Amino acid sequence: MKIKQNPAEKVMILELSGKIMGGPDFDKFKDEIAKVVDGGYKDVILDMSGVPWINSTGLGILITGYHHIKAAEGSMMICNVKERVLSIFYISQLENIFDVYETREEALKAATS
């Protein structure tokens, strides 16, 4: 997994790419979320347009990040999720936890309103 920061006003957009499978991805994502929160960003959008696959361990990584951001009184939104990954969200019922948007623009509008 690769992570690229793309700040937009008071919202940090994290562009994720590659498979999210656990292992070293856990520490990488956890450290990135900590840096974002420590940098003063409370609202985070995960742009998953570059993520072709996520497994159950990868879902756990996202949930850990979600809880870290919630503890900082922030919000985490997800956008541009490929159909294959979105189906995993539905099967695991994580669409009930995460705010999922079709586009980055929709997520950014929700984050800034």
Report pLDDT digits (tens) over 46-102: 999 999 999 999 999 999 999 999 999 999 999 999 999 999 999 999 888 889 999
Which residue did the predictor score with more confidence, 95 or 103?
103
- In total, how many domains does the chain have? 1
On whether the CB atoms of residues 84 and 76 are closer than 8 A, the answer is: no
CATH of residue 32: 3.30.750.24
Amino acid 95: pLDDT: 83
Domain ranges, residue 11: 2-112
Model-level pTM?
0.94
| pLDDT confidence tier of residue 38, bands split at 50, 70 and 90 | very high
DSSP string covering 13-53, please?
A: EEEEES-B-STHHHHHHHHHHHHHHHTT--EEEEEEEE---
What is the structure's pLDDT at 112?
A: 86
